[in-house]
Copies of this chain bind each other. A is one copy, B any other.
Amino acid sequence: MKSFGRMCSTLSRKPLWIFDRRRGIMRVGVDYYPEHWDESRWETDARLMREAGISVVRLAEFSWCKLEPEEGRYDFSWLDRALEVLHREGIQAVLGTPTATPPAWLHQRYDIYPRDARRYPLGFGTRLQRCLNHPVMRRYSRLITEAMVSHYAHHPAVIGWQTDNEFEANLCYCDVCADLFRQWLQRKYGSLQALNRAWGTIFWSQEYTNWSQIPLPWVARCGQSHNPSLWLDYRRFASESTVSFQREQVEIIRRLAPHHFVTHNFMGLHDSLDYFALAQDLDFVAWDNYPSGNWKEAGHAELAHDVMRGIKQKNFWVMEEQSGIPGWEYIGRRPAPGQIRAWAWQAVAHGADAVVFFRWRSCLYGTEQYWHGILNHDGIPRRRYREVARFGEEMNRLSAELDGTTLHHQVAILNSYEQNWALQIQPQVNGLSWWEQVRRFYYSFRRLGAGVDIVPIDADLSQYRVIVLPSWYILTERDAQRLSEYVRQGGTLIVNPRTGVKDERNVCRTEPLPSLLREVAGVEIDDYDPLGTDENRIRLHSGEEFAVSVWADALILQGAEEVAVYTRSIFAGETAIACHRFGGGTVYTLGTYGEPALYDTLLGRVLDEAGVETMPGVPEGVDACWREKEGARYLFLVNLSGEERSVPVPEGVTTLLGASPHGGMVNLSPYEVGIYRTGS
């Protein structure tokens, strides 16, 4: 334990973190790697940061070899000096545990490399070259975490921690994982007899008579077409492995620095890992937002922001916000002028309380030489610096006002990583993937002017008037009861195809589909046609026709009313969509997936019926969000398009940022932002 008092005596030693209201929680930050640069540059960097309105940095998450240059010898001196320089400019720090890149000396001594599905060891030279289940990795992770947290627990500049970096499920195929998986199964099933029965290993003569016979889903004679029950348990195990690895670090931080926050940098729509479980041990979610092409949603960060806000159902940080061209060997386009600032304000509009830009300066070395920072390699403040500084000034100016605001919606889409994995294991047809389903509904609601929450099934469902259930492929009794109860109490539930197909073992249910939801939905599925990219057509009773694809269920009405009918073979005349009044609520069962206009038509009526408030008329390319706190509502308008847009704005708003309305309309230039207060 070291005293840092001397070097920063003029600053409060009281920990200052996210829930401290005195300075406001809204802040602008940057990811900084002082270890990449000559110390003589640090003061220039810190000054330029401060001048750009930056008040927080994330540090050290890839610096294990510098923090522990040889086994057991820790060296925090360089980081102490960096923190001192930063702190002098009023900048606080989030420290990363450096376990995503163990040092070479550790690998030389122990083989902790993860294995791929052919058991090939994924060795040194890039990153993530460690199996999170390996006991040696666990031990060294705890040791470096303890040393680091002990050292910085009472550092006045340090406010919190990021665990590791961009966790994924530990989809490793090494022998340690094989053994632990078998132990995990033993705990779960008790006996091999129970496991054989649960998985149905009689199929293809796979009954196990010894625990050691159970394989990981290694590449085999039929590729990786293993038993789907084994697959799902392996996916659960691999996800839990990562969660338990993180938990060891979190427990150390809680013990040694209980006044610090702990977070992790999530990856938006990444889905190898149960993000709900990972977040449970954290104070809040942070995530890495690269709108121009990464994390699967090219050019569309809004869905990912809402997914991230839904993980803990509260505001979040952006821990890495794109500030330039991204890429490794291949790189992307330069963001247009204004686009970086627009993306940053969009993050805030969707619930970010801090925006930390990645990264300060483009690195001279290594694989990410061209993952550009705010500064180019030459370190000279140019266009992107000026844009970030403009955002910094605005954000700091408005933070006192916006502090404490968050988003409230009447519509939700349920999210589940387990469903997602099960659909990855059996995609069945093109178009059935989890996020493709979520997108269909999400973007339709947004076009209709409704904000959307994306939440787990154990959220408080009663706060929502309308809930969408994407393929709830694996349906438990408990989930079925929660959903029935929600409808009974007056909610509107929208059920999609492939719901209730399996039980929690990933084994097919024998009840007619949608199995446990038959009664509440008032329908039974007689037959189905996996359309994939082929098409059928449906006609609503109101007369409109739409193309449908992906999947077609032929519904038998058992209390429900027909809403739409197929018009083409092989299901011409069969029911495609049904509506059932159940208890105080309503269930729409959709037997198929349609073109966007289908959802805009159908969901428009559903929102009307359910009395959901919407803000219609927002043109394409403009992202409109409301943040609220007691008495005050703040409308954020972000023009993400490269063209001017006119947006209707309520009467009597106060302009906090950007152009003022005229005649109920505001004109937003390309990539421009407006913030308007109403109420209070």
Neighbouring B residues of A336 by C-beta, 8 Å: 569-570
A367 touches B123 (CB 8 A): no
Q: Of A210, A220, A331, A425, which is in contact with the most chain B CB atoms at under 10 Å from its CB?
A: A220
A428 in contact (CB, < 8 A): yes
- Interface-facing stretch out of A201-209, A402-410, A463-471: A201-209
B530 touches A108 (CB 8 A): no
A510 touches B378 (CB 8 A): yes
CB closest residue in chain B, given A222: B126
Contact A331 to B429, CB < 8 A, known contacts A203-B367, A213-B105, A228-B369: yes
- 459-516 of chain A: CB within 8 A of chain B: 507-513
- Interface-facing stretch out of A64-72, A235-243, A246-254, A576-584: A64-72
Neighbouring B residues of A382 by C-beta, 8 Å: 526-527
Considering the chains assembled together, what is the distance between the CA atoms of A378 and B501 in angstroms?
A: 10
B512 touches A378 (CB 8 A): yes
CB closest residue in chain B, given A218: B123
Residue-wise interface mask of A (526-541) relative to B, using a CB-CB cutoff of 8 A (1 in contact, 0 not): 1111111010000000
A362 in contact (CB, < 8 A): yes
Neighbouring B residues of A370 by C-beta, 8 Å: 426, 428
Considering the chains assembled together, what is the distance between the CA atoms of A305 and B104 in angstroms?
A: 47
A397 → B minimal CB distance (Å): 27
A114 in contact (CB, < 8 A): yes
A122 touches B528 (CB 8 A): no
A212 touches B108 (CB 8 A): yes
Identify A203's interface contact among B207, B210, B363, B378, CB under 8 A. B363
Identify A69's interface contact among B35, B114, B209, B379, CB under 8 A. B209
A225 in contact (CB, < 8 A): yes
A19 in contact (CB, < 8 A): no
- 428-470 of chain A: CB within 8 A of chain B: 428-429
Contact A63 to B202, CB < 8 A, known contacts A123-B215, A230-B125, A510-B377: yes
Neighbouring B residues of A126 by C-beta, 8 Å: 204, 220-223, 225-226
A369 touches B199 (CB 8 A): no
- Interface-facing stretch out of A1-9, A95-103, A280-288: A95-103
Considering the chains assembled together, what is the distance between the CA atoms of A528 and B362 in angstroms?
A: 13
Considering the chains assembled together, what is the distance between the CA atoms of A102 and B227 in angstroms?
A: 16
Neighbouring B residues of A569 by C-beta, 8 Å: 336, 642
Neighbouring B residues of A530 by C-beta, 8 Å: 325, 327, 331-334
Considering the chains assembled together, what is the distance between the CA atoms of A370 and B508 in angstroms?
A: 10
A366 in contact (CB, < 8 A): yes
B122 touches A225 (CB 8 A): no
A427 in contact (CB, < 8 A): yes
B207 touches A104 (CB 8 A): yes
A120 in contact (CB, < 8 A): yes
Considering the chains assembled together, what is the distance between the CA atoms of A673 and B208 in angstroms?
A: 48
A36 touches B365 (CB 8 A): no
A390 in contact (CB, < 8 A): no
Considering the chains assembled together, what is the distance between the CA atoms of A366 and B508 in angstroms?
A: 10
A118 in contact (CB, < 8 A): yes
A508 → B minimal CB distance (Å): 4
Neighbouring B residues of A295 by C-beta, 8 Å: none
Contact A367 to B202, CB < 8 A, known contacts A126-B223, A510-B378, A527-B334: no
Considering the chains assembled together, what is the distance between the CA atoms of A291 and B64 in angstroms?
A: 53
A189 in contact (CB, < 8 A): no
A124 in contact (CB, < 8 A): yes
A428 touches B331 (CB 8 A): yes
Neighbouring B residues of A337 by C-beta, 8 Å: 570
A219 in contact (CB, < 8 A): yes
B508 touches A369 (CB 8 A): yes
A329 in contact (CB, < 8 A): yes
Contact A427 to B329, CB < 8 A, known contacts A215-B124, A366-B228: yes
A101 touches B69 (CB 8 A): no
The 6 tightest CB contacts between A and B, nearest first, are: A200-B365, A203-B366, A126-B222, A101-B205, A104-B213, A334-B529
What would be 16 A-B contacts, judged by CB atoms less than 8 Å apart? A62-B203, A66-B207, A101-B204, A103-B207, A108-B210, A122-B221, A125-B215, A126-B222, A128-B222, A203-B367, A331-B429, A336-B569, A377-B508, A377-B509, A378-B510, A380-B512
- Starting from the known contacts A204-B367, A329-B427, 18 additional A-B residue pairs (CB-CB under 8 Å) come to A36-B200, A36-B202, A63-B202, A65-B201, A103-B205, A126-B221, A126-B223, A200-B363, A200-B364, A203-B363, A203-B365, A226-B367, A327-B530, A331-B428, A333-B530, A336-B570, A364-B507, A382-B527
